[in-house]
Amino acid sequence: MELDLGRNNITGAIPDNFPPTCVLSYLDLNRNSLQGRIPKSLQSCELLEFMNVGDNIIYDTFPCMLPSTLRVLVLQSNKFHGEVRCRTNWPDLQIVDISSNNFSGSLESINFSSWTAMTQLRHESSSFYTSGVILTVKGLRRELGDIWSDFGTIDFSSNNFRGRIPNAIGDLITLRHLNFSHNAFNGTIPTSFGQLSKLESLDLSRNQVSGVISPELGGLTFLSFLNLSYNKLVGQIPNGPQLRTFTADSFKGNPGLCGFNDSISCSRRDHNNSSPGEVENGEEKREIEWTFVFAALGYVVGLGIIVWLLLFCRSFRVKYFGKIEEVVEDILVARDRRRARNRARTQ
């Protein structure tokens, strides 16, 4: 059974009167003005595969009571809040969009590995819905048509999630689109992302992700959209062939990054990242080195002029050696006078 009431002007709350024998498999209530909470009675709909309540004004916590048969869950652009802590597993889940809400906490409580529909590659792919799901794909809002069985997308953007990005995300090998932007994630980019061989877009912008960019990202040959801007990434951008296709906008806002897509070379970046004391000491050393250079240069030039005058200027040569003879004579006369005074004292 399908219920599609999306894109209307429905107000009020969703009635909490789904029957115990509910056979609903498709529920679309997106783009209305619905308020209140997600009905607890939806847990009776044990065949529910598709639920879209995006773009409403629903104020609730994460609906953990939803049945394990879910394949598509869209909660985006509401007022959902709190941590995502559920004991229920959704092994068939393929599309999860909970963006633009007020969810918080870390993702450690989510068992991503239990989303087995995204952990297994299928030899044959088939579509299971022709739906009007609107997702943010590669930075643009677009409406999906058929949803294929080997298609996976996760959008947790524009919430208040924090903590590290779980390594278990790398187990979701059918992921096509992953968006964790505009949160407060920290830690490093998991190396397990290198396993996401079908990934087409990755957005981790506007977080506090640190460390180096994993070289494994350079091996994702289907990746056509990448946004790592405004984080705390450092080091050289990997030289993977796919990463060469992105512009500097994909990496801006990371002062510690450098590489082939950055206008500042890594050697120059290393200099710019030096502390003020290191820079000052370096400048002082260079000043001292130039002092020695100029002193040596002056000595060589002066000596060269004297040698040139002695060789090629006769009048200078006569005066020069005459002056030397006078100095030597004065030295000898002074020595003789001292000797004479010493003899006179001893007598």
Query: 98 and 75 in contact (C-beta within 8 Å)?
Result: yes
Rounded CA separation 121/173 (Å): 7
- Rounded CA separation 114/304 (Å): 85
pLDDT in tens, the chain (347 residues): 889 999 999 999 999 999 999 999 999 999 999 999 999 999 999 999 999 999 999 999 999 999 999 999 999 999 999 999 998 889 999 999 999 999 999 998 899 989 999 998 766 555 565 566 777 676 767 777 677 777 899 999 999 999 999 999 999 999 999 999 999 999 999 999 999 999 999 999 999 999 999 888 888 989 999 999 999 999 999 887 778 888 889 999 999 998 865 555 676 555 555 444 444 454 444 445 556 666 677 666 667 676 666 676 767 666 766 777 777 777 777 777 777 777 766 66
Contacts of 291 (CB under 8 A, 6+ apart): none
pLDDT of 324: 74
Structure tokens, 63: 């609906």
Burial (CB count <10 Å: 0-12, 13-18, 19+), residue 151: buried
- Contact between 38 and 13 under an 8 Å Cβ cutoff? The reply is no
Per-residue model confidence (pLDDT) at position 226 = 94
Q: Maximum distance among all alpha carbons in the chain?
A: 142
pTM of the model as a whole: 0.75
Q: Are 172 and 196 in contact (CB under 8 A)?
A: yes
Contact 32, 4 (CB under 8 A): no
d(CA 132, CA 137): 14
Q: What is the pLDDT of residue 267?
A: 61
* Cβ-Cβ contacts under 8 Å for 242 (sequence gap 6 or more): 217, 218, 219, 220, 221, 223
Alpha-carbon gap, residue 173 to 151, rounded angstroms: 10
Indicate the class that CATH gives domain 2-273. alpha beta
List the domain boundaries for the chain: 2-273, 282-346
Distance in angstroms (rounded) separating the CA atoms of residues 107 and 83: 9
Under 8 Å between Cβ of 200 and 223: yes
Look at strands 127-130 and 146-148 and give their pairing: antiparallel
Task: Tell me what pLDDT residue 312 has.
Answer: 66
Please enumerate, as own/partner, the contacts of 67-75 that have beta carbons within 8 Å and a separation of 24 or more.
67/42, 67/43, 68/92, 71/95, 71/117, 71/128, 71/147, 72/129, 72/131, 72/133, 72/147, 73/97, 73/98, 74/30, 74/133, 74/135, 75/101
Distance separating alpha carbons of residues 175 and 179, to the nearest angstrom: 11
CA neighbours closer than 13 Å in the CB half-sphere of residue 263: 3
The torsion angle over the Cα atoms of residues 128, 130, 136 and 140, rounded to 10 degrees, is 130
Closest CA to 235 of 270, 192, 188, 279: 270
Task: Report yes or no: 172 and 115 within 8 Å, Cβ to Cβ.
Answer: yes
Distance, in Å, from the CA atom of 27 to the CA atom of 18, rounded to the nearest integer, reads 12
